[in-house]
Structure formats: C-alpha cells, structure tokens
Amino acid sequence: MSQENPSLVRFRFQRMLEMLERKEGRGTELITVYIPPGKQVSEVMNDLRNEWGTAGNIKSKTTRKNVQDALTKAMEQLKLYTRIPPTGLVIFAGTIASQQQGVGEMETYVLIPPEPIGIYYYRCEHRFMLDPLFELLRTEDSYGIVVLDSKAATFALLKGKRADIVKDISSGVAGKTRAGGQSARRYERLRQMHLNEFFTRVGNYMTDIFKDVPNLKGIIVGGPGPTKEDFLKGNYFHHEIKEKILTTVDTGYTGHEGVKEVVERSQDFLKNVRFYEERKIVQDFLYNVGQETGLATYGEREVIQALRSNNVRQLLISEGVRRTMVRLQCRDCGAKDTRIVDRDELVGFEESVADLSCLKCGNGNYEVVETEDLIEALVKLAESTDAKVEIISGETEEGEMLNRSFGGLAAILKYRQFG
C-alpha cells in the first residue's frame, strides 16, 4: 500500500480539531489530557485518579458528576494502552451541551498527534484545549539551518518559529593574521587547507543531520561575511543536500544567536517556500483550463464523474470546502439520488428532504440514507483509482482562485474528455 499523502493526513487532522473546537460544555466540565511520549501509563493513571478525587470538592452536584464521569472515561481509554505512543497521546472527554437544552451526551475522543508533543497537561474547562495541536499543524514542515564562519558552525532544525540546536563544531582554523616568522604565502596556504578540511566536515555533518529528516523542505545557510558563500561554491556536500539549499542569510553573529537571526529573517521567505508546491499544482490546472487542452475539469458533478471514470491524475481540493454528500432514497419507488449540501445548511436540508420530488416517480417522499463529508467521499473515489490527492490552502492567490472561481474542486485528467 502506498504511503498516504502528507497534505491529506494534515487535512484530516485539521478537520478533527475543527470538529472538537465546536464542542462546548455547559460549565467547566470538559477535560483535556496531554501525555508526552515516554510517560508511564501507571503514573498518568494515578494522576487522573487524584484529579477524580479532587473533583469531589466541586459544589455543583451536576458539574461534579460530569467531571468525574469524564475522568472515568479518560481512564478507561488510557487502560487500552500498555505504553504511550511515540508521538504522545491526547484524550478529550466530557458532557457536550445539547442545543435543545436537554441532558447532554458524554463524548470521548483520543488523538495520536502527527508529531511528538512535549507537554504533560490536564485541564478542565468549558471547551477542549486544542492550541498545542493547532500549533503542530503550523509547524509540520522542517527546515535545516547552518550558521558558519571560518571559526565555527552550528546546525539546527527549524519547525515553525522554533529552532532546535543539533550540533556545534569549531574549525581550528587560524585567523588571517600571519604568525611570526612564517611567510605570508605559506601561512595563507596552510590556513586555506585547514579551511577546506573544515568545510568538508561541515558538509559531512549536513549530510548526516539533514539527509533523512522527515518533511525537510530545504536548508538555509547563514553567517557573517563571505565564508558561507565560499562554502557553498565548493563541492563539500552530498548532491541531495545541495539540491535542498534554499537561500543564504547574512547575520551579525554565529552560534545560537546566529540561528535566532536566521529564524527571524527567514519567516516570510519560508512561508513562500511552503506554498510553492501548491502554486505549481494550481498553475498546472489553470494552464490546462486556459489552453483548453481538455485535461482539466472542475465542479462537483464533473469531478465526481471523472473520478468514477478512472480519469483523474491529480485531484485538487481546497481546504476551505465545507460540504456534505447526502445520499437519498425514495420511499415509494426506491430510486436513489445524491445531493451536495453546504455543511451549515445540512440540518435544514434534512428536515425538508421529504418535500423533494423524486426524479423517477415524481412523488415527494425522499429519506436520507447516508451523509458523508464531501472531501472524504472524493478521497475514497480517488484512492480506488490511484488518483493523487492534493489539499490546497487558501493562503496563496492561486489557492484563493481555486476556491472562489472553481468551487474549491478541480482535477487534472489522465486523458482528454470529449462531449
């Protein structure tokens, strides 16, 4: 089985967070538990039992019961694990307020984060605590940073605005001032030899540190003066690493302070890099539309038809799409139909569906058989035909155009469609 598209994994995780974000308790009854990797299950269980006991001091009988019930549910979920997963575990539990003001429903959710979480955290509020998980979405891509001059080099990994120092090395290269008694030419020749050896070490460390980093989008090389340019001009690193070099940044410092400067001065540049691939995908689609090549289609019905015909090479979905596929069946003749409805209009549509006229017998007697998120339905069709799925953000001009002008759904086809 092929590995799932990272953009699709990210999208599904984001949709789950958005669903949880809409949940609300009547009071401070919803509990959130963040458990980092390496934490002992028994230790967490003991802490939750203590919280259960503390909750017994809550004055409101209803709130006390709901909080203790939520903690019980959390402990039941935790018992299913012999050890915390490598990226950690997050448990949400609580009685969700009913729109009809009746008795709410107890709901429990367990998430395994896509990246390791570093916090051990318990909170009881009227909403679930989601900020650390939303932050993971903003920091999924990784970038390598190398800051160097002739005396030292520092290697770091950047995610979002957080840079983790991986290694510091010194060069052992003497300064440019000539030592006593040596000729200037000999001194400079020895210094250049030592500098080349240092550059070779820097290149080897770059390969060792960055070559197998997941989601590494590129490497930024920074430092004061021309040393970084001299390094990049040479043949000091693996060809795969050379292809990852994005840009250079002038800094006033080396070491950890130099890394901070690179992070501060690279944010706008990195934002453009993150969206570069999306731009290329949408521009490919727009080219096929503009040139009337017959290799592009858009719109719900058209895209679904192309998927069912096994004629989609690349499916483009705007992450702003919020629609539901509703499958209907006529009670009188059994005819089936499918409608696509905006998520915000779903409740009203389901209440009025019996008034719709059946396309086959003409009677108004439809019933809802199934509802499914439109994007999930499209992804299933795409996976069954080996079409590549790309989730496109709305943070570029091209992504905004996909959403605004093409309804957020488009496809680049395998072969031309006629008729």
Residues with Cβ within 8 Å of 21's Cβ and at least 6 positions away in sequence, in order, are 127, 128, 130
203 and 248 assigned to the same domain: yes
Q: Is residue 146 part of a domain?
A: yes
Domain boundary, last residue among 96, 112, 138: 138
At residue 146, the pLDDT reads 97
Range of the domain at 243: 142-274
At residue 4, the pLDDT reads 58
**Domain of 310: which CATH number?**
3.30.1330.30
Q: Is residue 291 part of a domain?
A: no
Question: Phi/psi at 102 (nearest 5 deg)?
Answer: -90, -160
At residue 368, the pLDDT reads 93
> Quick one: which of 120, 122, 133 has its CA closest to 94?
122
Domain boundary, last residue among 138, 156, 174: 138
Q: Do β-strands 216-223 and 142-148 pair in parallel, antiparallel, or remain unpaired?
A: parallel
**Domain of 23: which CATH number?**
3.30.960.10
Burial of 394 (C-beta count, 10 Å sphere; 0-12/13-18/19+): middle
253 and 196 assigned to the same domain: yes
At residue 140, the pLDDT reads 60
Residue 415 CA to residue 306 CA, distance in Å, equals 10
Residues with Cβ within 8 Å of 281's Cβ and at least 6 positions away in sequence, in order, are 314, 316, 390, 392
Question: Tokens 């339905």, residue?
Answer: 377
92 and 146 assigned to the same domain: no
80 and 202 assigned to the same domain: no
245 and 361 assigned to the same domain: no
Domain boundary, last residue among 84, 114, 138: 138
Q: Is residue 224 part of a domain?
A: yes
Binned average pLDDT, 10 residues per bin, the chain of 419 residues: 61 88 90 95 96 93 94 96 94 84 81 88 94 77 91 89 86 67 74 91 94 86 94 88 92 94 83 73 93 93 94 92 92 91 90 86 87 91 90 82 93 82
At residue 103, the pLDDT reads 64
At residue 139, the pLDDT reads 56
At residue 102, the pLDDT reads 55
Task: Please state the domain count of the chain.
Answer: 3
At residue 1, the pLDDT reads 34
